């Protein structure tokens, strides 16, 4: 049987090393299968976070050969066979143990976002065309790969000032909900630091759900912030007509 | 010896953060209770995210003739009338309101041309009844509930596992657990506890379930003296992936057939014509699973031992819009473009109809202060669950459990438990590290899943079940000798060793109940008792711990009142 060589980070926040494991390769195998083999036969205490193994829960995020990936969707046969497969934890979050990182910061950011607030007197009718746009954002499985790859977080560590792509997607879903009546532009500008994003599209590239994070969420949100804070005419018109854009 | 632990206190403790747990927590919060939610994974990752096809609710948006009576009748018929009729009635009556509520909390379902929630056909449902979001309905539901709960202010204890319920006399008053991350112990004091821990699929080799599905709640309840019921009824979903090996068992949503997908064998025959000429591919899951299994066994299976499921006759754009996850799943994991050719599918262990016996109105178990909702509970689905009835179950009975648990918390004080209970629980967890040598928990788990798959699977007989039970007893002995390597810091081997104990308890309950029921009904198929027996059709099997041992008894199925009987008898 064919064999693959994996070099997996073993360690804690205090440091660690890459440990080499040899794993038999089966057709269609994914990196998470290889990690499970290691747990089952070679290192029962290898820490890996995973749940569905079907690309639906977003738990098994890690970096494979330096690329942020869901390990359950990364086929072994998509990686170069002539060198070891290097698996390391997401870089933007503190390591707890081995491939498991502390992603609790994301849950704190999420709490800042005001929830869906339906406009008074709505009849709950929506057209599929209006819903389509938001359903793209609702596909997000919270794998946090976009957060991991965003240079504002990854390289500059601006976790206090910046919300990150995942939460711009969430705010976009609320702002563009056909029946939502709240504006969150002040939050975007002042608390989530939308201005830090300089649209390099790294987040869009790594999204396993193919959400067009930059084009469909971040840029329209930036336009809304500009309208609300830097375009007095648009602001006045909205005050007069009291109509939320959809 | 007392080991260090921290203490948290709530009116209501919810164990599990899938659809049922979150809905229970939201309801208890709305009633003014302080609520703690414990979950083995991160918030939002629970098994509910994997639910694909939809939520069954008789909203009549697409088929105006639908109403709760039709939904009630379909559910009872699908469950071969072993269901608790009152649960089936409440479920059918309340599901539409629970769906509307989700929409009011921000969920965005697919729409009809009139702008209402769109509904699709599914197996065993007379009308188009499943409210859905493409094929990712569960994700929409869990995200909606998660955001709602966070906004209302529940405390979520993520990556924390409960190993034992604490009791004061005959009532439950808390739980002992440990943080998966650090391995430290934690004690939760609570006036009521809601179990919402899901099922037991990880005891089988080919399963659509994640690592979390280890029967925790059923085992916790059993250990605390609560009754389990209908444990012989394990649902094998007819369509899991069969190739490549790494994805074997991964779910292929019934929505593929709901949207017009057709099953064929290697010879190109629409074999469902032989098994259910009327409902064909949309027959109930027990029937379709047995049909595929039989086709394969009789030599008409596909190359990798399954059946073909084909939706490629529909326009490619339609398939991608209505079944996006399936399209990507097959393209990325199996190199199959489902808009161009058929999928290969076969049965996969998917759902537990049995579980903790509960009161239909309050979801309270036979132990005071202990509630159960969702897959961990039993009664609604009887001998076979209809697709789409699980998500609605979570909402309807999650809400009722949260409500009753909060009400109870309002009228009782915190219970008192003696420290010995905590000592026992923590000693058991640490014993794995203290043995000088022993077996890996992974080895024992592998053997358990092989045994359940081959001896307690879709088709059963006395010899297989008896050897299965003998093996489970061996696994118990091996469990006593398990040794865990490494430290308590995020150690999956240690976590599995703990989960295995629950799996062994529940597996034994399944095998013993299956041996006791000498007939075939719904998901329970005995080759040595191939027919349904009307006498057995009037009995549920109850499993209970008596004096430290597992005991089975038979209990009459509750009779529906005359007005509901009339509904059931309608053509």
Q: Write down the pLDDT at residue A230.
A: 86
> What pLDDT, in 10s, does the model give residues A140-190?
999 999 999 999 999 999 999 999 999 999 999 999 999 999 999 999 999
Residues with Cβ within 8 Å of B553's Cβ and at least 6 positions away in sequence, in order, are: B541, B542, B544
Contact B485 A45 (CB under 8 A): yes
Question: How far apart, in whole angstroms, are the C-alpha atoms of residue A173 and residue A137?
Answer: 6
CATH architecture of A104-241: Orthogonal Bundle (1.10)
Q: Read off the pLDDT of each residue in B253-276 and give the average, rounded to a whole number.
A: 96
In this model, does residue A79 exceed pLDDT 80?
yes
> What pLDDT, in 10s, does the model give residues B104-126?
999 999 999 999 999 999 999 99
Q: How far separated are the first and last CA of chain B, in Å rounded?
A: 65
B333–A contact, CB cutoff 8 A: yes
Residues with Cβ within 8 Å of B333's Cβ and at least 6 positions away in sequence, in order, are: A28, A30, A73, A75, B241, B244, B246, B247, B250
What is the pLDDT confidence band of residue A134, given thresholds at 50, 70 and 90?
very high
Contact A74, A29 (CB under 8 A): no
Domain boundaries, chain B: 239-348, 419-530
Question: How far apart, in whole angstroms, are the C-alpha atoms of residue B346 and residue B540?
Answer: 29
Provide the chain A residues 87-106 that lie in CB contact (below 8 A) with chain B: 96-98, 100, 103-104
Q: Write down the pLDDT at residue B2.
A: 74
Which residues in chain A are contacts of B46 at CB distance < 8 A? 51
What is the pLDDT confidence band of residue A1, given thresholds at 50, 70 and 90?
low
Least CB–CB distance from B247: residue in A28, A116, A126: A28
Q: Which among B160, B141, B161 is positioned nearest to B19, based on CA atoms?
A: B141
In this model, does residue A242 exceed pLDDT 70?
no
Residue with tokens 């390099």: A200
A176–B contact, CB cutoff 8 A: no
Which residues in chain B are contacts of A30 at CB distance < 8 A? 246, 333
Which CATH code of 3.90.700.10, 3.30.230.10, 2.40.128.20, 2.160.10.10 fits the domain covering B239-348? Answer: 3.90.700.10
Q: Which residue of B has its CA nearest to A122?
A: B104
Query: DSSP letter at B117?
Result: B
Q: What is the mean pLDDT of chain B?
A: 96
Q: Which residue of B has its CA nearest to A179?
A: B106
Question: How far apart, in whole angstroms, are the C-alpha atoms of residue B143 and residue B203?
Answer: 28
Q: What percent of chain B has pLDDT over 70?
A: 100
Cβ neighbours of B398 (radius 10 Å): 31
Beta bridge partners of B178: B161, B185
Q: Read off the pLDDT of each residue in B328-341 and give the average, rounded to a whole number.
A: 95
Cβ neighbours of A187 (radius 10 Å): 18
What is the pLDDT confidence band of residue A244, given thresholds at 50, 70 and 90?
low
B102–A contact, CB cutoff 8 A: no
> What pLDDT, in 10s, does the model give residues B125-160?
999 999 999 999 999 999 999 999 999 999 999 999
Least CB–CB distance from B492: residue in A48, A56, A118: A48
Please, where in chain A does CATH 1.10.1060.10 lie?
104-241
What is the pLDDT confidence band of residue B345, given thresholds at 50, 70 and 90?
very high
**May I ask the CATH class of domain B419-530?**
mainly alpha
Question: How far apart, in whole angstroms, are the C-alpha atoms of residue B12 and residue B136?
Answer: 30
Contact A94, A101 (CB under 8 A): yes
In this model, does residue B293 exceed pLDDT 90?
yes
Q: Which among B382, B384, B380 is positioned nearest to B88, based on CA atoms?
A: B380
Enter the tokens of residue B504. Answer: 């062994």
Contact B372, B221 (CB under 8 A): yes
What is the pLDDT confidence band of residue A235, given thresholds at 50, 70 and 90?
confident
Residue with tokens 């049965």: B347
Provide the chain A residues 181-220 that lie in CB contact (below 8 A) with chain B: none
Provide the chain B residues 199-228 that lie in CB contact (below 8 A) with chain A: 210-212
Which residues in chain A are contacts of B147 at CB distance < 8 A? 110, 115-116
Region label for B189, one of left (φ > 0), alpha (ψ between -120 and 50) or beta (otherwise): beta
Which residues in chain B are contacts of A98 at CB distance < 8 A? 490
Question: How far apart, in whole angstroms, are the C-alpha atoms of residue B206 and residue B209?
Answer: 9
Pick B245 or B369 by higher pLDDT: B369
The number of angstroms, rounded, from the C-alpha of B551 to the middle of its chain's C-alpha atoms is 23
Residue with tokens 């705010």: A171
Give the 3-state DSSP-derived string for A133-173, with helices as H, strands as E and coil as C: HHHHHHCCCCCCHHHHHCHHHHCCCCCCCCCCHHHHHHHHH
Beta strands in B77-184 (DSSP E): 119-120, 130-131, 155-157, 160-168, 171-179
Q: Write down the pLDDT at residue A243.
A: 54
In this model, does residue B380 exceed pLDDT 60?
yes
Beta strands in B180-224 (DSSP E): 185-195
Q: Write down the pLDDT at residue A245.
A: 55
Q: How far separated are the first and last CA of chain A, in Å rounded?
A: 57
* Phi and psi at residue B5, to the nearest 5°: -150, 155
Residue with tokens 């394969």: B296
In this model, does residue B3 exceed pLDDT 80?
yes
Kindly state the helix (H) or strand (E) to which residue B108 belongs, with its residue range: none
Residue with tokens 């924390």: B160
Q: What is the mean pLDDT of chain A?
A: 95
How far away is chain B from the Cα of A86, in angstroms, using its nearest Cα?
20
> What pLDDT, in 10s, does the model give residues B58-99?
999 999 999 999 999 999 999 999 999 999 999 999 999 999
Per CATH, domain A3-101 is 3.10.20.30? yes
Provide the chain A residues 1-30 that lie in CB contact (below 8 A) with chain B: 12, 26-30
B245–A contact, CB cutoff 8 A: yes
Least CB–CB distance from A51: residue in B45, B140, B493: B45
Question: How far apart, in whole angstroms, are the C-alpha atoms of residue B268 and residue B271?
Answer: 9
Q: Write down the pLDDT at residue B571.
A: 78
Question: How far apart, in whole angstroms, are the C-alpha atoms of residue B423 and residue B348?
Answer: 39
**Active site residues per annotation of B:** 237, 257
Residue with tokens 């990712």: B136
Q: Which of the residue ranges A230-244, B317-331, B477-491 would you say has the lowest mean pLDDT?
A: A230-244
Enter the tokens of residue B420. Answer: 């010995």
A127–B contact, CB cutoff 8 A: yes
ipTM summary value: 0.95
Q: Give helix then strand counts, H and E, for chain B.
A: 16, 21
Q: Write down the pLDDT at residue B167.
A: 97
Question: How far apart, in whole angstroms, are the C-alpha atoms of residue B265 and residue B301?
Answer: 6
Q: Read off the pLDDT of each residue in B387-398 and give the average, rounded to a whole number.
A: 98
B140–A contact, CB cutoff 8 A: yes
Question: How far apart, in whole angstroms, are the C-alpha atoms of residue A143 and residue A141?
Answer: 6
Q: DSSP string covering A22-74, please?
A: EEE--TT-BHHHHHHHIIIII-TT-----S-SSSSS---EEEETTEEEEGGG-
Contact B377, B397 (CB under 8 A): yes
CA angle, corner B154, sides to B148 and B160, nearest 5? 115
> What pLDDT, in 10s, does the model give residues B199-248?
999 999 999 999 999 999 999 999 999 999 999 999 999 999 999 998 99
| C-alpha distances out from residue B537 to B236, B240, B383, B511, Å | 21, 30, 10, 19
Residues with Cβ within 8 Å of B190's Cβ and at least 6 positions away in sequence, in order, are: B9, B10, B11, B12, B13, B36, B173, B174, B175, B409, B414
Q: Write down the pLDDT at residue B1.
A: 57
Query: DSSP letter at B341?
Result: S
Contact B260, B314 (CB under 8 A): yes
Beta strands in B45-93 (DSSP E): 55-56
B252–A contact, CB cutoff 8 A: no
Contact B47, B198 (CB under 8 A): yes
Q: Read off the pLDDT of each residue in B285-293 and give the average, rounded to a whole number.
A: 95
Q: Which of the residue ranges A5-14, A200-209, A223-232 would you say has the lowest mean pLDDT?
A: A223-232
In this model, does residue B329 exceed pLDDT 70?
yes
How far away is chain B from the Cα of A39, in angstroms, using its nearest Cα?
8
Q: Read off the pLDDT of each residue in B273-296 and give the average, rounded to a whole number.
A: 96
A75–B contact, CB cutoff 8 A: yes
B410–A contact, CB cutoff 8 A: no
Which residues in chain A are contacts of B490 at CB distance < 8 A? 47, 96-98, 100
Which residues in chain A are contacts of B105 at CB distance < 8 A? 115-116
Contact B489 A12 (CB under 8 A): yes
């Amino acid at each position: 049987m064919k064999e693959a060589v994996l070099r997996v980070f073993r360690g804690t926040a205090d440091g660690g090393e890459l440990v080499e494991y040899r794993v038999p390769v089966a057709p269609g195998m994914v990196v998470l299968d290889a990690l499970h083999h290691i747990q089952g036969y070679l290192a029962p205490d290898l820490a890996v976070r995973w749940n569905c193994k079907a690309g639906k829960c977003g738990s098994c995020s890690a970096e494979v050969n330096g690329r942020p990936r869901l390990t359950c969707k990364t086929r072994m046969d998509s990686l170069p066979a002539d060198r070891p497969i290097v698996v390391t934890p997401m870089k933007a979050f503190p390591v707890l143990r081995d491939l498991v990182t502390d992603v609790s910061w994301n849950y704190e950011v999420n709490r800042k976002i005001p929830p869906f607030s339906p406009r008074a007197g709505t009849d709950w009718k929506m057209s599929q065309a209006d819903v389509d746009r938001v359903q793209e954002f609702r596909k997000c499985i919270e794998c946090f790969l976009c957060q991991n790859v965003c240079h504002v977080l990854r390289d500059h560590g601006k976790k206090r000032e910046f919300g990150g792509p995942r939460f711009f997607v969430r705010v976009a879903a609320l702002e563009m909900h056909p029946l939502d009546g709240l504006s969150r532009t002040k939050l975007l500008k002042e608390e989530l630091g939308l201005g830090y994003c300089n649209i390099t599209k790294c987040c869009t590239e790594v999204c396993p759900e193919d959400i067009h994070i930059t084009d469909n969420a971040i840029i329209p949100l930036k336009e809304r912030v500009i309208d609300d804070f830097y375009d007095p005419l648009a602001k006045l018109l909205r005050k007069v007509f009291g109509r939320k854009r959809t | 010896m007392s080991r260090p632990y921290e203490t948290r206190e709530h009116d209501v403790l919810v164990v599990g953060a899938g659809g049922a747990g979150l809905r229970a927590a939201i309801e208890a919060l709305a009633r003014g209770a302080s609520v703690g939610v414990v979950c083995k994974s991160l918030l939002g990752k629970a098994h509910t995210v994997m639910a694909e096809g939809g939520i069954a609710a008789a909203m009549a948006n697409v088929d105006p003739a639908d109403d709760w009576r039709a939904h009630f009748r379909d559910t009872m018929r699908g469950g071969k009338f072993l269901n608790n009729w009152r649960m089936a009635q409440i479920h059918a009556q309340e599901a539409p309101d629970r769906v509307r509520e989700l929409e009011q909390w921000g969920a965005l379902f697919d729409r009809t041309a009139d702008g209402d929630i769109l509904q699709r056909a599914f197996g065993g449902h007379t009308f188009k009844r499943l409210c859905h979001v493409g094929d990712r309905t569960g994700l929409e539901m869990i995200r909606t509930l998660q955001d709602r709960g966070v906004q209302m202010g529940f405390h979520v204890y993520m990556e924390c596992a409960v190993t034992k319920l604490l009791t004061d006399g005959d009532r439950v008053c808390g739980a002992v657990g440990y943080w998966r991350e650090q391995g430290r112990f934690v004690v939760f004091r609570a006036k009521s506890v809601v179990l919402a821990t899901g099922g037991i699929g990880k005891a089988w080799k080919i399963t659509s379930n994640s690592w979390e599905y280890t029967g925790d709640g059923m085992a916790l309840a059993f250990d605390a003296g609560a009754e389990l019921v209908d444990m012989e009824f394990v649902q094998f979903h007819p369509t899991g992936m069969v190739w490549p090996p790494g994805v074997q068992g991964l779910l292929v949503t019934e929505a593929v057939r709901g949207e017009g997908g057709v099953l064929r064998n290697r010879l190109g025959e629409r074999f469902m014509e032989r098994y259910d000429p009327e409902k064909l591919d949309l027959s109930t899951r027990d029937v379709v699973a047995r049909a595929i299994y039989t086709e394969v066994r009789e030599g008409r299976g596909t190359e990798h031992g399954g059946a073909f499921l084909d939706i490629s006759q529909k326009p490619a754009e339609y398939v991608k819009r209505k079944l996006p996850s399936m399209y990507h799943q097959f393209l990325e994991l199996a190199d199959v473009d489902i808009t161009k050719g058929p999928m290969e599918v076969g049965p996969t262990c998917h759902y537990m109809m049995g579980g903790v016996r509960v009161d239909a109105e309050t979801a309270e178990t036979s132990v005071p202060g202990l509630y159960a909702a969702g897959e961990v509970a039993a009664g609604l689905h009887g001998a076979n669950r209809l697709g789409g009835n699980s998500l609605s179950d979570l909402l309807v009975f999650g809400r009722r459990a949260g409500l009753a648990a909060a009400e109870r918390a309002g009228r009782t004080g915190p219970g008192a438990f003696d420290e010995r209970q905590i000592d026992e629980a923590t000693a058991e967890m640490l014993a794995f590290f203290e043995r000088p040598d022993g077996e890996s928990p992974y080895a024992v788990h592998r053997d358990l899943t092989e045994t359940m798959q081959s001896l307690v699977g879709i088709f059963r007989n006395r010899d297989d079940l008896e050897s299965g039970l003998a093996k489970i007893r061996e696994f118990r002995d091996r469990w006593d000798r398990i040794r865990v390597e490494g430290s308590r810091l995020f150690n999956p081997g240690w976590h599995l060793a703990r989960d295995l104990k629950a799996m062994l308890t529940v597996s034994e309950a399944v095998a013993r109940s299956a041996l006791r029921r000498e007939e075939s009904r719904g998901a329970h198929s005995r080759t040595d008792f191939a027919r349904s027996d009307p006498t057995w059709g009037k009995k549920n099997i109850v499993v209970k711990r008596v004096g430290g041992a597992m005991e089975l008894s038979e209990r009459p199925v509750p009779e529906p009142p005359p007005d509901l009987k009339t509904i059931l008898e309608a053509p």
